[in-house]
Structure 1
Amino acid sequence: MANDPKIDRRNDVTPKEGEHKYGDVEFADRTNKKYPIDTPEHVRAAWSYINHKDNAAKYDADEVSTIKERIKKAAKKHEVAIQDA
């Protein structure tokens, strides 16, 4: 997948690490290969992580919103119940 125009490249991560760890899966942050959302377990974990202030602080408000919307969409697809934080 190509870089995501809605999310900037972060200097504190290596996208290849995410690909190496999770494979060619869908990520809520496609640019940096963060927050895999390909399984119910990953969806729950992604939601939990993005709702931690220290993780969300690495993005601007629009980027957090984009990531959350993608996680919510994946949750619906995988029939995972998540609560707005």
Structure 2
Amino acid sequence: MTKDPKIDQREDVKLTEGEQKYGDVEFADPTNKKYPIDTPEHVRAAWSYINHKDNAAKYDADEVNVIKDRIRKAAKKHDVTIQED
């Protein structure tokens, strides 16, 4: 895995939606402004959502792994315990 793998732009996402809803925060999917990971609450929600099959299905397997890795790192930063799959 490369250091900062690219996540492709999704056709079903409006790019401004995430920033309008959450502001200028860190996202696990910064390309599409999905899965904010700036607070403990957002980290927990991001982990929950990416582990729903319908949400994960919108990405390639490699992209899901990148998003999950970013959420894991944010969880450590915010001292949040998440349950692995």
Q: What TM-score, normalized to structure 1? A: 0.94
**Residues in 1 aligned to 2:23 and 2:46: alpha-carbon distance in whole angstroms:** 16
Matched, 1:23 2:15: no
Alpha-carbon contact 2:40-2:78 (below 8 Å) kept = yes
Q: Relative to structure 2, which stretch is displaced further, 4-13 or 27-36?
A: 4-13
User: 1:75 maps to which residue?
Assistant: 75
Residue correspondence of structure 1 range 1-85 to structure 2 within 5 A: 6-85=6-85
Which secondary structure state, in structure 1, belongs to the residue aligned with residue 11 of structure 2? coil
In the TM superposition, residue 5 of structure 1 has moved relative to its aligned partner by 5.3
Query: May I ask how many residue pairs the two structures share in their alignment?
Result: 82
Q: Which runs of 5+ in 2 are unaligned?
A: none
Aligned amino acid, residue 78 of structure 1: H
CA RMSD after TM alignment: 1.0
**Residues in 1 aligned to 2:53 and 2:10: alpha-carbon distance in whole angstroms:** 17
Q: What TM-score, normalized to structure 2? A: 0.94
Which secondary structure state, in structure 2, belongs to the residue aligned with residue 42 of structure 1? helix
Percent sequence identity over matched residues?
82
Q: Which runs of 5+ in 1 are unaligned?
A: none
Aligned amino acid, residue 56 of structure 1: A
Structure 1 runs (4+) deviating above 2 angstroms are none
In the TM superposition, residue 6 of structure 1 has moved relative to its aligned partner by 1.4
Which secondary structure state, in structure 2, belongs to the residue aligned with residue 35 of structure 1? strand
